[in-house]
Amino acid sequence: MTAATTATKRGAAAEAWALLFEFFTREKPRWAALASEFELSMSQAHALSLLAPDRPLTMSELAHALVCDASNVTGIVDRLEARGLIVRRPAEHDRRVKLLCVTDAGAELRERALQRLFEPPDEIARLSAADQRALRDVLRRALAR
């Protein structure tokens, strides 16, 4: 019995949640494949996606955004920097702080990767226009803070 069929007995919220979970499970291999197309690990891709060219982050900010310890970020950033996708720049106001800035090459690769990521998967693409709008509207309300 799948999560979704079990959840059917517990009401719409539980079933919707179970269906979302199934959706995530189906998409995860696609994300891993997409990252490896660009020769990035999932963590590297996640980090790069957070580093908009106009919004450099510090090491600790990136650690917080990735929900992991700061010591991990050193390695992840090392690998991105070794590939020339980002650079560490000391902050002006406090030389302990490093600003992570995307290089031109990094911004270009980041943009191409995000374009691919934004392509909706078949599950969404094949919905009717009305269903696509309904999904968008409900998710907007769900994620509104």
Q: How many helices (H) and strands (E) does the chain have?
A: 8, 3
Closest CB to DNA among 5 and 72? 72
Binder of residue 75, out of DNA, its own copies, none (CB less than 5 to 8 A by kind):
DNA
Q: 14 is in the binding site of which of DNA, its own copies, none (Cβ under 5 to 8 A by kind)?
A: its own copies
* Least gap, CB of 43 to DNA (angstroms): 4
Interface residues with its own copies (CB under 8 A)? 1, 3-4, 6-7, 10-24, 26-29, 32, 52, 67, 114, 117-121, 123-127, 129, 131-136, 138-143
Return phi, psi of residue 86, to 5°: -140, 165
Query: Edge-to-edge, what's the strand order for the sheet holding 57-58?
Result: 57-58, 98-102, 86-90
**Do the Cβ atoms of 40 and 48 come closer than 8 Å?**
yes
Q: How far is the CB of 121 from DNA (least distance, A)?
A: 20
What's the CA gap between 63 and 57, in Å, rounded? 10
Angle at 29 (CA atoms; ends 87, 135), nearest 5 degrees: 95
Cβ distance to DNA smaller for residue 18 or 73: 73
Cβ atoms of 50 and 57 within 8 Å: the answer is yes
Q: Which does 59 bind (CB under 5 to 8 A by kind): DNA, its own copies, none?
A: DNA
* Binding region for DNA (CB under 7 A): 41-44, 58-61, 66-77, 79, 88, 94-98
Kindly tell me which of 7 and 44 has the beta carbon lying closer to DNA: 44
48 vs 98 by CB, closer to its own copies: 48
Distance of CA 88 to the CA centre of its chain: 21
